[in-house]
Amino acid sequence: MLIAACANLSPPPQAAPEPGAVSALDQLSSNACNEVVASSLAGARIPVSDVRYLTYGLYRDINRGEIVGYDAWMGMNNQPGAVVVQLDAVCTPKQIYARGGAQLPGAQ
Q: What is the pLDDT of residues 68-84, one digit of tens each?
A: 999 999 999 999 999 99
Q: Sorting pLDDT into bands at 50, 70 and 90, what band is 31?
A: very high
Euclidean distance between the first and final Cα of the chain, in Å? 24
For residues 22 and 38, the answer to whether their CB atoms sit within 8 Å is: yes
pLDDT of residue 10: 77
3-state class of 26 per DSSP?
helix
Domain boundaries, the chain: 13-99
